Amino acid sequence: MISKQEAKRRIEKLRKEIEEHNHNYYVLNSPVVSDFEFDLLLNELQTLEKAYPEFGTEDSPTQKVGSDISREFRQYEHLYPMLSLGNTYSEEELREFNTRIEKTSGTPVEYVCELKFDGASISITYRNGSLFRALTRGDGTRGDDVTRNIMTIKSIPRQITEKRVPGEFIVRGEILMPRAVFNRLNSERVSEGLQPFANPRNAASGTLKLLDPEIVAARDLDCMFYFLLSEELPAETHFENMMKVSSWGFMVPDSIRLCRNTDEVIQYISEWESKRNDLPFDIDGVVVKVNSLELQRRLGFTAKSPRWAISYKYKAEQALTKLLSVSFQVGRTGTVTPVANLEPVLLAGTTVKRASLHNADQIELLDLHLGDMVYVEKGGEIIPKIVGVDHSVRSDENKKIEFISHCPECGTLLVRNEGEANHYCPNYLHCPPQLKGRIEHFISRKAMNIEGLGEETVDLLFSKNLIRNYSDLYDLTVQDLIPLERLGDKSASNIIRSIKSSVEVPYSRVLYALGIRHVGETVAKTIASRFRSVDELMKADEESLISVNEIGPRIASSIISFFSDEDNIKIINRLKSYGVQFSGEDISAAETDILRDLTIVISGVFSKHSREEYKTLIERHGGRNSSSISGSTSFILAGENMGPAKKEKAEKLGIKMVSEEEFLKTIGED
């Protein structure tokens, strides 16, 4: 038994650590520990608080639900608290749960088993058959209003055609991203030089909190429903109510099952543990609920969980193996990623030799040493990751892993910007992986779309000193290519023809192809619509850049830095000489100057036009769109449900708020 003072110190440390993990999981959508590791910490805290009740507090993580609330959204109270579930990883604890339930019921109990889909929880209210409001879990008491985003998900009905439904009811479900969509999205993000999502759950949760519903719609989210709440429920059992919900047009999984006893529950859990990898969505366990609503009411709730339900969590597939070394890879944008090289081990049917270590913080968190025995987990990640170390077998001779200070490819001192997790090499003009990566990006389908060239061919051209940057491509001849391995007359001719035809690629795609840090495909289109030529863009200062919708200080700084480099200017001038398009028709050319020199921020929900339509109207009348409020903001076009954070900032800066009606009158559309 530890002393009271030691217990107090440990409790305080655990609370701080758990709160940080909750913030990473719910707010940042970037957890650094597995669910199992998190639950171990929480269980330790619960045990200590029970043993030392004098150190208990109402704001302990054991007494409240983790919160995903964002100040960019308006919050509303949940009519019924949206609590979390207690977790178990063992059959023994599941049987203990059943014993407690039967002690209250006095008779054998029926349970409903449902797959625990790994996504973002949502609570949707319907009034008179129409979708009224959708809230995230939030802190369990209130949640963010994400109704506009939910409206874009095709599997969620806006209107219930069934006549006999309660006047008002709430359905709860899990917003999911199918694995196929997740893989496609990550491929696009990697090609744009963006950080890929860690897993489908993070991608779904992050998408739900986007401020642009059009992007949400493009990501093909789904929703599986698992609960019905109303003062006029159609039945007195959970299973019958879910069958009704299914008949009303909601997606209720076919996997839901009514079980007569604990043995059937355990059979269900075992069955799906082996079948879960065949599903199009990720699951991390099974939820077991008491079927009788009357018994649910008698059992009641704890501060953060219902007593009538429990989550059986599958342990993520893990393997123990030896850490042989850590190598550091340099990506197209200069980001340096540490990779663990392992003794080969079988995990989830494949042999694993390497695992991601993400960044310097992860190495420090794991306290990694060479020769450590490490736990490797797949658990929904793109590639395996190290989740723990077996310290009991560590030798004193094992050397601690230190993150490198200089680029492993060119020797340049690495940079880590404030607020960013990754180190990167700033020597983008001379660092070989970055040079090749920029060329590969330049020729990609969404950029210049030069066919016949791929990663291997670029590597070959680079090794033969035929190219050093993407402007060198336009000097290549058929005679340069024919002698190269795997290339003949026909292939060489096709490549040269594709290079020459790429000069017709429009200006916005050329901007994207340049590979400016943080400038993806969408941002490039936005820039091209505001700055009619690259010459105009080169002259832009930070204020004029951040006045453009979707461009913040980080992107503006990156653009200015790119065009401040003389070597970049030389490359652009060479590309111009070959006829590459560095100007184009201003698609948002103003029709009037009513809003000339005005910078306008749009916030809220509108009835006459969509947000995108208002952005177009602002540009048509000479104004500039901005996504963030600053001292240069002229006014805010304010609709209903304006985000409280923006409202507070506007009031603080004394910025005028213009209603939809007043704005339309100003531009002559009243």
**CATH number of the domain to which 48 belongs:** 1.10.287.610
Beta-carbon contacts of 320 under 8 Å, excluding residues fewer than 6 positions away, are 345, 373, 374, 375, 376, 390
CA distance 22 to 652: 30
Which residue do the tokens 């998408």 mark? 207
The model's pLDDT over 309-340, given as tens digits with 9 standing for 90+, comes to: 999 988 777 889 999 999 999 987 788 999 99
| Residue 152, φ and ψ in degrees, nearest 5 | -85, -10
Residue 77 CB burial class (10 angstroms; 0-12, 13-18, ≥19): exposed
315 or 408: which leads in pLDDT: 408
Q: What is the 3-state secondary structure (H, E, C) of 239-256?
A: HHHHHHHHHCCCCCCCCC
Closest-CA residue to 221 (of 287, 263, 281, 306): 281
Q: Which of 478, 504, 530 is the last residue of a domain?
A: 504
In 95-180, at which residue ranges do the beta strands (DSSP E only) sit? Answer: 111-117, 120-127, 130-136, 142-144, 168-176
Query: Do 436 and 467 fall into the same domain?
Result: yes
For the cut 50, the answer to whether the pLDDT of residue 608 exceeds it is yes
pLDDT of residue 24: 63
Q: How far is CA 340 from the centre of its chain?
A: 24
pLDDT of residue 587: 42
pLDDT of residue 453: 86
CA distance 368 to 374: 9
Looking at the chain, the number of H-run helices and the number of E-run strands are 24, 21
Query: Do 100 and 242 fall into the same domain?
Result: yes
Q: What is the DSSP letter of 27?
A: I
30 or 626: which leads in pLDDT: 626
Closest-CA residue to 376 (of 326, 338, 320, 324): 320
CA distance 551 to 545: 7
The model's pLDDT over 1-38, given as tens digits with 9 standing for 90+, comes to: 577 788 788 888 888 777 777 666 555 555 556 566 66
Query: Do 489 and 627 fall into the same domain?
Result: no
Structural domain containing residue 526: 507-577
Would 120 be classed as within a structural domain? Answer: yes
Would 420 be classed as within a structural domain? Answer: no
Mean pLDDT of 112-139: 93
Which residue do the tokens 């100007």 mark? 583
Would 418 be classed as within a structural domain? Answer: no
Closest-CA residue to 655 (of 616, 604, 600): 600
The strand order across the sheet containing 87-88 reads 87-88, 309-313, 283-290, 111-117, 257-259
The answer to whether 174 touches 355, Cβ cutoff 8 Å, is: no
The CATH number of residue 651's host domain is 3.40.50.10190
Query: Do 59 and 108 fall into the same domain?
Result: no
Q: How far is CA 422 from the centre of its chain?
A: 17
Would 584 be classed as within a structural domain? Answer: no
CB-based burial, 159-192: b 16+ in 10 Å, e otherwise: ebeeeebbebbbbbbbbbbbbebbeebbeeeebb
Q: Whole-angstrom distance between the N-terminal and C-terminal Cα of the chain?
A: 75
Lowest mean pLDDT among 213-227, 229-243, 490-504, 587-601: 587-601
Would 105 be classed as within a structural domain? Answer: yes
Query: Do 130 and 262 fall into the same domain?
Result: yes
The CATH number of residue 543's host domain is 1.10.150.20
| Residue 228, φ and ψ in degrees, nearest 5 | -125, 135
Would 190 be classed as within a structural domain? Answer: yes
CB-based burial, 625-640: b 16+ in 10 Å, e otherwise: bbbebeeebbbbbbbe
560 or 13: which leads in pLDDT: 560
Q: What is the 3-state secondary structure (H, E, C) of 206-224?
A: HHHCCCCHHHHHHCCCEEE
Which residue do the tokens 């219902």 mark? 306
pLDDT of residue 67: 52
Q: Looking at the 3D structure of the chain, how many domains does it have?
A: 6
> pLDDT band at 210, cuts 50/70/90?
confident
359 or 406: which leads in pLDDT: 406
What whole-number percentage of the chain has pLDDT above 90? 40
The answer to whether 422 touches 336, Cβ cutoff 8 Å, is: yes
The CATH number of residue 221's host domain is 3.30.470.30
DSSP 617-668: HHHHTT-EEESS--TT--EEEE-BT--HHHHHHHHHHT-EEEEHHHHHHHTT
Query: Do 137 and 181 fall into the same domain?
Result: yes
The strand order across the sheet containing 624-626 reads 624-626, 599-603, 635-638, 656-659
Look up 322 and say whether it is catalytic: no
What whole-number percentage of the chain has pLDDT above 70? 91
What's the number of CA atoms in the CB half-sphere (13 Å) around residue 102? 14
Query: Do 608 and 527 fall into the same domain?
Result: no
Closest-CA residue to 124 (of 260, 310, 251, 314): 251
Q: What is the DSSP letter of 26?
A: I
Would 443 be classed as within a structural domain? Answer: yes
CB-based burial, 445-474: b 16+ in 10 Å, e otherwise: eebbebebbeeebbebbbeeebbbbbbbbb
pLDDT of residue 66: 54
pLDDT of residue 570: 94
Beta-carbon contacts of 54 under 8 Å, excluding residues fewer than 6 positions away, are none
The CATH number of residue 351's host domain is 2.40.50.140
Q: Which of 489, 504, 519 is the last residue of a domain?
A: 504
Return the number of other C-beta atoms located less than 10 Å from residue 208's C-beta: 25
Would 412 be classed as within a structural domain? Answer: no
Query: Do 82 and 219 fall into the same domain?
Result: yes
What's the number of CA atoms in the CB half-sphere (13 Å) around residue 338? 25
Query: Do 108 and 10 fall into the same domain?
Result: no
CA distance 637 to 652: 17
CA distance 302 to 366: 34
CA distance 228 to 479: 70
Residue 608 tokens read as: 């006459």
DSSP 539-606: H--HHHHHTSTT--HHHHHHHHHHHT-HHHHHHHHHHHHTT---B---TT--S--TTTT-EEEEESB-
> pLDDT band at 590, cuts 50/70/90?
low
Closest-CA residue to 81 (of 216, 229, 250, 295): 229
The model's pLDDT over 474-508, given as tens digits with 9 standing for 90+, comes to: 999 999 999 887 778 888 999 999 999 999 999 99
Mean pLDDT of 46-74: 68
The model's pLDDT over 356-396, given as tens digits with 9 standing for 90+, comes to: 888 898 898 889 999 999 999 875 545 688 888 988 888 88
CA distance 160 to 163: 8
pLDDT of residue 72: 63
Mean pLDDT of 68-87: 79
Angle, helices 553-563/566-577, rounded to nearest 10 degrees: 70
Q: Which of 481, 504, 527 is the last residue of a domain?
A: 504
pLDDT of residue 586: 45
- Kindly report the average pLDDT of the chain as a whole number: 85
Query: Do 141 and 274 fall into the same domain?
Result: yes
SS3 385: strand
4, 64, 103, 116: the catalytic one is: 116
288 or 438: which leads in pLDDT: 288
Query: Do 128 and 208 fall into the same domain?
Result: yes
Angle, helices 262-275/91-105, rounded to nearest 10 degrees: 150
Torsion sign (Cα): 278, 283, 286, 289? negative
Query: Do 497 and 626 fall into the same domain?
Result: no
